[in-house]
Amino acid sequence: GAVVSQHPSRVICKSGTSVKIECRSLDFQATTMFWYRQFPKQSLMLMATSNEGSKATYEQGVEKDKFLINHASLTLSTLTVTSAHPEDSSFYICSARAAPAGGSTEAFFGQGTRLTVV
């Protein structure tokens, strides 16, 4: 099946610094990728939809200046958490949808990034 690779899997940063998370579709092209945030023992909340070559679409309540999304190519989307604070600590997961040969579209997920801001 299609593979989505997310890096890094874990990152610890100091408060006030920025952190970049990469999401790559390894064997397919993804014009659209999705970024989710998951709080401990809670569900995945959609943060934004990343569109190749255009601006991301953010969900209500998500600060676009805090969470910068860039989708510069058909295989790479990045999420940058700017001026991170402890409340930004969370598990971030990216996703892309693709249609395996002969099948309908599926959603493929990265391994997730555990961000801890100290």
Task: Tell me which residues touch other proteins (CB under 8 A).
Answer: 6, 31-32, 34, 36, 41-46, 49, 91, 93, 95, 97-99, 104-107, 109-112, 114
First to last CA, the chain: 37
Nearer to other proteins, 18 or 107 (CB): 107
Helix (H, G, I), strand (E, B) or coil at 65: coil
Distance in Å, CB of 83 to other proteins, minimum: 26
Nearer to other proteins, 72 or 107 (CB): 107
SS (H, E, C) 10-70: EEEECCCCCEEEEEEECCCCCCEEEEEEECCCCCEEEEEEEECCCCCEECCCCCCCCEEEE
Nearer to other proteins, 83 or 111 (CB): 111
Distance in Å, CB of 91 to other proteins, minimum: 8
